[in-house]
Amino acid sequence: MDNWKKGRGMLGPLAPLLGRWVANSAKMPDGSVGDCTREFAAFGAGFVRLDASWEMGARGVYREIAMFGQSDDGALAFWSFTINGKRSTGRLSDASDVHSDAIAFVAEMPAGTARSVYWPDEDGGGGFRFAVESKVKRGWNRFLDHRYRPG
């Protein structure tokens, strides 16, 4: 993907994600299908804000707002808040097992360790792939996999 160029500085890894992205007919963790949007935008000089919206049919819209920036210990981290009152915090992590250019964040959740991964979609559509995985004894178990296009 030509536009998958990481920038410089703390927020540099997020540069390929900046903009508005849409995944049409995306499978949800519960097996239903809906449209998802993810919009990444600079929030001042020190943060990137994510606004995510999942259209879930009769169940309504599921929303998440996350901030990415430097944590107190100097690592690139995120702080996520969802419409159902849940929140999580994670930090940049390696995901070279998915793709050499993957951007991943790992979070400790009440249900266990989770990883969100972004990587270039190499089918020529100019988008990216996004997956959420849970940590299991044998590695990572993928339970969400979306393809995003510019939107």
Residue 58's pLDDT is what? 79
* Residue 81 scores a pLDDT above 70: yes
Least confident of 18-27, 29-38, 124-133: 29-38
Q: Indicate the pLDDT class of residue 25, thresholds 50, 70 and 90.
A: confident
pTM of the shown model = 0.91
CATH superfamily label, 12-150: Calycin beta-barrel core domain (2.40.128.20)
Question: Is residue 103 within a helix (H) or strand (E), and if so which, with residue range?
Answer: strand 103-109
| Structure token pair of residue 5 | 């160029």
Cβ–Cβ < 8 Å for 142, 114: no
Cβ–Cβ < 8 Å for 103, 90: no
Indicate the SS3 state at residue 114. strand
pLDDT in tens, 26-59: 877 677 788 999 999 999 999 999 999 988 877 8
Q: Distance between CA atoms of 119 and 41, rounded to whole angstroms? A: 18
H helices within the chain, ranges in order? none
| CB atoms inside a 10 Å sphere around CB 82 | 15
* Residue 17 scores a pLDDT above 80: yes
| Structure token pair of residue 47 | 């943060």
Domain edges within the chain = 12-150
- Average the pLDDT over 65-82 and give the result: 96
Q: Distance between CA atoms of 24 and 95, rounded to whole angstroms? A: 25
| CB atoms inside a 10 Å sphere around CB 117 | 23
* Residue 78 scores a pLDDT above 80: yes
Residue 1's pLDDT is what? 47
Residue 29's pLDDT is what? 67
| Structure token pair of residue 146 | 């979306």
| Structure token pair of residue 36 | 């998802």
Q: Provide the mean pLDDT of the chain.
A: 92
* Residue 2 scores a pLDDT above 60: no
